[in-house]
């Protein structure tokens, strides 16, 4: 039995400004500056570079949109009132999780 060759669709060329550059560490650089970017504390040229990366990297774009939404929700919610027992339990749970790593 002979296998039939099927035509594989050719990839379209992506403009250099839209190419994703994982190998060059752009995603990692973006993560390092995320807090300052969300708080609008970076110079305009760095913000432009980050926006260009986001336009070429769907994963980073989804991640930062999700993070921005989370920050917005946290800023508009009052801090919950915890009892001293709840605070102690939470502190213990955090320490246990940190020690498990």
Q: What is the pLDDT of residues 12-39, one digit of tens each?
A: 444 444 455 554 577 887 888 888 888 8
What pLDDT shows up at residue 88? 95
Structural domain that includes position 24: 18-79
25 domain-assigned: yes
| Mean of per-residue pLDDT scores for the chain | 78
Task: Return the structure tokens found at 80.
Answer: 């919950």
Q: How many domains does the chain have?
A: 1
Compute CA distances 63 → 34, 70, 73, 75, 77, whole Å: 10, 11, 15, 18, 21
Residue 96 lies in a domain: no
Assess if residue 56 is contained within a domain.
Answer: yes
Could you tell me the pTM of the whole model? Answer: 0.50
97 pLDDT above the threshold of 70: yes
Tokens coding 73:
């929700």
**Does any domain span residue 12?**
no
Q: Has residue 52 been placed in a domain?
A: yes
Instruction: Give first-to-last CA distance, the chain, whole Å.
Output: 54
């Amino acid at each position: 039995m002979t296998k039939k060759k099927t035509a594989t669709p050719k990839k379209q060329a992506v403009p250099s400004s839209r190419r994703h550059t994982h190998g060059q560490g752009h995603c990692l650089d973006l993560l390092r500056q995320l807090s300052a970017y969300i708080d609008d504390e970076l110079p305009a040229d760095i913000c432009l570079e980050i926006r260009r990366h986001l336009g070429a990297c769907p994963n980073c774009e989804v991640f930062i949109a999700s993070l921005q939404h989370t920050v917005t929700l946290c800023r508009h919610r009052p801090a919950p009132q915890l009892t001293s027992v709840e605070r102690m339990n939470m502190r213990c749970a955090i320490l246990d999780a940190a020690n498990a790593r």
